[in-house]
Structure 1
Amino acid sequence: MKIMFMTLRDRVERFTDFSNLSKDWEYVFAGYEKDTAKLLEMGGDADAILADAITPVPKELIEAMPNLKIIHSEGVGYEGINLAAADEKHIYVCNNRGANKTAVAEQAVMLMLMVLRHAVTGHNRVLEGRQIEAKASWSMEGISELGSMHVGIIGMGDIGIETAKLLNAFGCRVSYNKRYPLSPSQEKEYNVTYMSVDDILKNCDIVSLHIPSNKETFEYMNEERFAMMKKGSILINTARGEVVKNEALLEALKSGQIAAAGLDVLAPEPVKEDNIVVKAMKNDGELAEKIVLAPHIGGLTVQTFDKIYGTIWSNFKKVCAGETPVNIVNHP
């Protein structure tokens, strides 16, 4: 079996014990190369591809690889993989659903706390010698505890459920929305109540996004939905940057429609200095204090990668043996 890695080599080697794998297997490390011709030259005869969750695996590449049997996302996302082309060639596409649920849920709650406690701005104030000024200002303005918040979770999959569990420990009221509501017993177990998206936006103090990135959710949070949000509420996004329209987010923050945003993700990736949100924050100090950014590291814990690579190598072994892998996301 020959495997082409379209991801960071150091990460693969750190979380893989190659001594437990077949000595007959061959490995090609393509990194983040996107040129189809170069990829085919390096590993056109590969049986398997492991791709970073945001790395594109286009139709042209899939169609030109005669031995390809499985494409595995390194993460949960797989929007960069051309599913139609994989279906046509009866190639499995798999992901690591649920592996990062605890890590991303922690990131979501961390961003909520950082926004509520002015963590980044407070850090900077202390460095600037303005500790007393910051303390006096926020003691008069008022800081809210997370437990006092009504949190709305849009997208109640594995990560959404894990986030709800953590929020319960703080004493939050938690509402959720998903295409198919949970059963009454599940709602009782997770201490959550179902709400329409509109009602979550209108009533919740914090809205946390946990939806996939696809054609239906592209710029899901747009001008219309920001206008529906409760005045002075907070947006948290640990899903994908593409589900938020950057221009609409900035306008909602500048106008005061929403008070703040905590973002682990920002589109497009990789985020450059000319990103509209980054530029706006650099040019507007007041706006910068309303946004907390993280470099899309919600799921990048050691524990997550241990789970991820356990699933990846198990699936590759299954396919090599002619068996069906787990976490299939297409229709091969």
Structure 2
Amino acid sequence: MTTAQFPIGSPFGAASTAQDILKGVNLSGKTAIVTGGYSGIGLEAARVLASAGVKVVVPARNIEKAKQTLADHPEILIEPMDLMDPTSVDAFAERFLAANKKLDILINNAGSMASPLARDARGNESQFSTNVLGHFQLTCRLWSALVAARGARVIALSSANHRIKVADFLHDPNFEHGEYDSWKAYANTKAANVLFAVALDSIGQRHGVRAFSVHPGGIFDTGLLRHTDVSLAIAAGMADKDGNAIIDPEKGWKTREQGAATMVWAATSTLLEGKGGVYCSDCEVGTQLAEDEGPLSTTGVTPGVKDSVNSGRLWQLCEQLTGARLD
């Protein structure tokens, strides 16, 4: 059953950290994959889940960097994988399935933001390839392990910057007909992440697999900003005039620890049992906005990305472009 896009009374909020979410919680026996789990908010999520007893696997494009950042956490397993390389995604999934019977939590966290125009080997725009298609293929390849968990959750990292005209995006997802705009491309992928969660949840719930999309908040200290001039962060209010991060969770500007909280909450909260397909923010189910156009909201989601027809079209597009299917 589709869950209403309405707050459910979470005891946590904008200032909560991932560690707050799992304080006193024992998740021994569960297995999780956190893509991008060796930097930024992904690293914090992986660390906190592991501290709660979860067997955490981190796929990494840069193995040496992953080994360095996870050096203090030898219990976290590192495996090679490049989301833009279909062969690499398949190889990772095969290795995981050979060693694990089930997957309780899949956090599709890795991503690229506002990068210059680049394309993968199949011609797909790089942000779309990384943020959407790679994670779609990974989820499909791991489907049998998710079903075997009998209660698995899949988390798709979205953003407040998801307000787009969905029809325009679905018509030209790879900027083959329109002029490339790096921020528009990013917003497209964040809208697609919500659509993905809606579609996956509608398919998965009868198998006990539920999906959620998550807005982590704005985190200045993260690798996502490597393609962004600091002046944009200053203009947005997430950094002061000297380029130092401004932390104000109620306005959406968070630390890494706070940024990781909502994905960990969506992946583990007992309040979400039997629920799915919803967009979450500030460790709570977000509100439903009235229209697709308008200013960004730190907690709301637009109707266009929650639409079942649009989500079905996105799912079909991903199948066509990747060749992946749920087995």
Larger radius of gyration: 1
Asked if TM exceeds 0.5, the reply is no
Q: If the TM-score is normalised by the length of the shorter chain, which range does it land in?
A: 0.3 to 0.5
Q: Which has the higher contact order (CA 8 A, sep 6+)?
A: 2
TM normalised by structure 2 equals 0.35
